[in-house]
Structure 1
Amino acid sequence: MGIYKTYNKLEADEEDNDKLKKLINLQFNNLMKLKKQQQVDASKESTPVLSNTNSGTNTPRKELKATGSKKMRKWDNGVMVEDNGDRSALDYSGQPQSEDGLVTDISKLKIDNSAFVKDHDLVLVNELNDILNESDDEDEDDTENNKSQTTGFFSKITSYLGGSINVDEVSKQFNDQLMSKNIAPATARQIIDKIKNKLSSNNKITMAMYKQALTDELTKILTPNVSTDLLHDIKRNAETNTRPYVISVVGVNGVGKSTNLAKLAYWFLQNNFNVLICACDTFRSGAVEQLKVHVNNLNRLNESSTSTKSKIDIFEKGYGSGDHVVQTAKQAIQHAAEHKFDIVLIDTAGRTHSNAKLMAPLKKFGDAADPNKIIMVGEALVGTDSVEQAINFNNAFGNKRSLDFFIISKVDTVGDLVGTMINMVMATKVPILFVGTGQTYTDIKRLSVKQVVEMLMK
């Protein structure tokens, strides 16, 4: 109001324009200072006093409460079941912090008893069925409502031509179908061209023949799960070598490397392997603290289990750049050998796949750490850019090394648009080890090739 009155008083006097500007600026600046001070005072009154310990981020810590009493776990006839014994070890409602002051993420401690199944002496991750079946259920109504109708373009062609089809026309339609599922255009075209070449010697192609050829090709591309082979490989290494089995996890920023590394660690613990997590993401602020929280959570779950006799720990040397990462990895492997750890899981810094300067250190790291397996975490949401990501990471380790597996994260967010899996596998010939379906340690699944192919063909 004061600024408005000053303006009205001096507006008519053209000679006092300079005075008008100075007075208005002065009053406006004083008003802003007063307003800012009031906001600061109000903030101080409403902000709770926080502990000086945190999980390595700038986000104020809220008190974490357990949503319910936790269940003990044990194996009964090959299935993980709940144990009604003492559950106090898993009730963290009164202790949101670990002993070293790190905040424990209670949400990660939710255990899905159906996530694993025991097969002789191995604990296997179940297949990805529930999420895919949800999509199947959603389509049931549409199927029932269209029982008396044809199934679109393909059925019209089949009916019109008396069983045979125009391969070029059908190929175009299936090419569009694959791209609609997030398969990159070049990849879709490559698949369809291969089908056309395979069928070129036959003069009378039916829709059933074409669809079967495409189904077989997609199934061939998606290599069957290899998790059982990995477990046997680790067991053989533990029996015959003093050097631990080293697995390095790489990927672009934000895809969930650390979370999926923790899921791997939990799975290995279920198989009674001793796991050492190495913090080699020494660039991102809070990365080491994040891993400490995961290890703390996994330790609590592991100690409460009645079916495992394994241990987990973290090896870290703080933050640094250049040779610091290489030296940390080497020391972690040596430490693991001396303290009888079966597996070393190495977390690495996220990096942009198109930045050659950021990708270059991966070769030096790979040569020094010499991991038994290199796993790239890719994101199901990425779509067609996944091709370039997969190729660049696969080539980053030089001519002698390449990626061994993919973990595709956030599969629960894309519905039936699962083409990213085809993109990455076809671009590199690297198989998918697991797919991630959520944030807890049991949100991990083996790829159900049959169901993924069915989704692509819908």
Structure 2
Amino acid sequence: MGFFDKFKFSRLKEGLSKTRDTFQENLSKLTKGRTEIDEEFLEELENILVSADVGVETTLDIVDRITEKAASATYRSEEELNGMVMSVMQEMLLDTAEEHPADFEAPLPSTPYVILIVGVNGAGKTTSIAKLAHNYHKAGKKVLIAAADTFRAAAVEQLRIWADRAGVPMVSQGQGADPASVVFDAVSSAVSRQADVVLVDTAGRLHNKANLMAELSKIMRVARKKVPEAPHEVLLVLDGTTGQNAVAQAREFSKCVDVTGLVVTKLDGTAKGGIVLSIARELHLPVKYIGVGEKIEDLQIFEREKFVEAIIGRV
């Protein structure tokens, strides 16, 4: 692991410290002095996983896999038990959809590469857009942001502040403008400027799914007038601190738009980071990015093995 990889992993561990500290403390108590798995162990493990917001379905899946492994293996130490729990959680994530998109530095399949960002207000959508823009910009890509959340007061100005921090241009028309018109201008500008990536902000309303669907459909139709295959990605931003509500939000948005991947934010603010496992397992959608801090560089590509290692480690 190179220096930069070690730094990123250190930031990941730091960002997940609340979840890790709680999980490790409980797991350490559970495995202390044990070398076998019995009904008491499995029941307590269920409680630990549910308390970390792993979710009932996912918890039962993990426990079933551990039970199966225990039937054909002997564990001689607490460390071996911990390692087995970690390996089962990693295996479960490996069974979900693709691990992550191409690294920011990798060549894009086509340009301009249009990414639609959706999510409820307050989930961290604006900051996630800025962090994505920062990473693409740092990787040498020409990035443009489309401020198509014209419904919420101050949304455009908030996004402008973050766009400036990221060092990328933004196309906007102000509050109350037609979102599709903003997207048309942005995609047209991206084509003329030969931009590599267009990040499209959208309104975060769920109270009227018909209106949301109509708005998103119009945005996509308009974008395709300039880039026929747009949007190439639809990323749904979820607030990790909302727990199982995030899963419910994802299900609702998936009814309105073809979500291709998830961004789970604010994991540094919760002791229930296990929600990521629940989201990946229950929604069958890839978690592509996770937010582990407020700084603009604190959005990380989701790597399943590293994530589980950062939570469990060696207790």
Q: State how far apart, in whole Å, the 1-side matches of 2:295 and 2:133 are.
A: 12
CA radius of gyration, larger in: 1
Q: Which of 148, 155, 165 does residue 37 from structure 2 map onto?
A: 165
The reply on whether 1:232 has 2:86 as its aligned counterpart is no
Tell me: CA distance 1:453–1:382, structure 2 relative to 1, closer, same or farther (3 Å).
Answer: same
**Contact 2:104/2:135 (<8 A) preserved:** no
The reply on whether 1:441 has 2:312 as its aligned counterpart is no
The reply on whether 1:132 has 2:13 as its aligned counterpart is yes
Tell me the CA shift for residue 228 of structure 1. 3.8
**Contact 2:131/2:299 (<8 A) preserved:** yes
Tell me: CA distance 1:207–1:414, structure 2 relative to 1, closer, same or farther (3 Å).
Answer: farther
2:58 alignment counterpart: 187
Q: Percent identity?
A: 24
State the secondary structure of the residue aligned to 2:262: strand
Tell me: CA distance 1:362–1:128, structure 2 relative to 1, closer, same or farther (3 Å).
Answer: farther
The reply on whether 1:332 has 2:186 as its aligned counterpart is yes
Deviates more, 1:273-282 or 1:183-192: 183-192
Would you say how many aligned residue pairs link Structure 1 and Structure 2? Answer: 295
Q: State how far apart, in whole Å, the 1-side matches of 2:9 and 2:99 are.
A: 11
**Contact 2:114/2:197 (<8 A) preserved:** yes
**Contact 2:146/2:201 (<8 A) preserved:** yes
Q: State how far apart, in whole Å, the 1-side matches of 2:166 and 2:72 are.
A: 60
The reply on whether 1:280 has 2:129 as its aligned counterpart is no
Tell me: CA distance 1:360–1:343, structure 2 relative to 1, closer, same or farther (3 Å).
Answer: same
The reply on whether 1:418 has 2:273 as its aligned counterpart is yes
State the secondary structure of the residue aligned to 2:160: helix
Structure showing greater relative contact order (alpha-carbon pairs closer than 8 Å, 6 or more residues apart):
2
2:87 alignment counterpart: 216
Tell me: CA distance 1:229–1:447, structure 2 relative to 1, closer, same or farther (3 Å).
Answer: closer
What's the Cα RMSD here? 3.5
2:166 alignment counterpart: 298
Tell me: CA distance 1:129–1:390, structure 2 relative to 1, closer, same or farther (3 Å).
Answer: farther
Tell me: CA distance 1:341–1:358, structure 2 relative to 1, closer, same or farther (3 Å).
Answer: same
Unpaired runs of at least 5, structure 1: 1-77, 80-116, 118-123, 144-150, 239-243, 300-311
Q: State how far apart, in whole Å, the 1-side matches of 2:8 and 2:185 are.
A: 36
Q: State how far apart, in whole Å, the 1-side matches of 2:132 and 2:256 are.
A: 23
Q: State how far apart, in whole Å, the 2-side matches of 1:211 and 1:125 are.
A: 22
State the secondary structure of the residue aligned to 1:237: coil
**Contact 1:276/1:314 (<8 A) preserved:** yes
State the secondary structure of the residue aligned to 2:179: helix
Q: State how far apart, in whole Å, the 1-side matches of 2:86 and 2:307 are.
A: 10
Tell me the CA shift for residue 262 of structure 1. 0.8
Q: State how far apart, in whole Å, the 1-side matches of 2:235 and 2:128 are.
A: 10
| Cα deviation code 1:164-198 (max 9, x no counterpart) | 432x33222211111121222233223323443x4
Structure-to-structure mapping, 1:26-425, within 5 angstroms: 117=4, 127-130=8-11, 132=13, 135=17, 152-155=29-32, 158=34, 163-166=35-38, 168-196=39-67, 198-199=68-69, 202=71, 206=75, 212=83, 214-222=85-93, 226-229=100-103, 231-234=105-108, 236-238=109-111, 244-299=112-167, 312-320=168-176, 324-352=178-206, 355-357=208-210, 359-361=212-214, 364-365=217-218, 367-368=220-221, 369=223, 370-397=230-257, 402-415=258-271, 417-425=272-280
Q: State how far apart, in whole Å, the 1-side matches of 2:55 and 2:69 are.
A: 23
Q: State how far apart, in whole Å, the 2-side matches of 1:207 and 1:360 are.
A: 55
Unpaired runs of at least 5, structure 2: 224-229
Q: State how far apart, in whole Å, the 1-side matches of 2:9 and 2:92 are.
A: 18
Q: State how far apart, in whole Å, the 2-side matches of 1:169 and 1:358 are.
A: 50
What is the TM-score of this pair, normalised by structure 2? 0.78
